[in-house]
Amino acid sequence: MKKTITCLLLTTGLTGYLSAQTPFRDKSDKNEGKVIHMDKQMFLDNIFDYTSGSTDWKYKGEKPAVIDFYATWCGPCRMVAPLLKSLAKEYKDQIVVYKVDTDKQKELSAAMGIQSLPTIIFIPKTGQPQIIIGAANKTTFRKAIEEVLLKE
């Protein structure tokens, strides 16, 4: 009986330890309509490989993208966040919305020339990205999405 209880406690403890060490990641593509937090590797894989030495912009994504470079301490960034979340839902079948925490992704932020926050980059499937620096209203973001990302 004592061995059974000890074994049960060890199993429970080990399971709790392992689940705390390995965050759950949903491998399915259920990010449509959501703002996706992006790191350097995700940027290199899905947006543009700035480490390749190529200076010619070539977007890798399947859908146009919006990237919000922000910081948690930035007031205007906190004002923009719910607007982009709402637009991600509204345009879920047409665009992808990403967020990059500039304090955690310093190399990526420097490589993209981010100097002011928030900086929102609109990346069409073809052509050059367009940038809005500073907070803007939902109408301005919607207009940028319609004219830069969805215009054919």
Residue 85 region, left (φ>0) first, then alpha (ψ -120 to 50), else beta?
Answer: alpha
> pLDDT tens across 83-131, in order?
999 999 999 999 999 999 999 999 999 999 999 999 999 999 999 999 9
Q: Active site residue: 65, 71, 77, 132, which one? A: 77
For residue 32, name the pLDDT band (cuts at 50, 70, 90).
confident
Domain boundaries, the chain: 27-149
- This prediction has a pTM of 0.80
Known active-site residue 77: yes
CATH architecture of 27-149: 3-Layer(aba) Sandwich (3.40)
DSSP string for 6-24? HHHHHHHHHHHHHHHHS--
Cα angle 51-53-57, degrees, rounded to a multiple of 5: 90
Q: Active site residue: 38, 74, 84, 87, which one? A: 74
Going from the C-alpha of 26 to that of each of 16, 63, 86, 131, the distances in angstroms are 19, 20, 22, 31
DSSP string for 56-123? S-----SS-EEEEEE-TT-HHHHHHHHHHHHHHHHTTTT-EEEEEETTT-HHHHHHTT--SSSEEEEE
For residue 16, name the pLDDT band (cuts at 50, 70, 90).
very low
Q: What is the pLDDT of residue 36?
A: 98
Average pLDDT over residues 19-35: 56
For residue 145, name the pLDDT band (cuts at 50, 70, 90).
very high
Known active-site residue 7: no
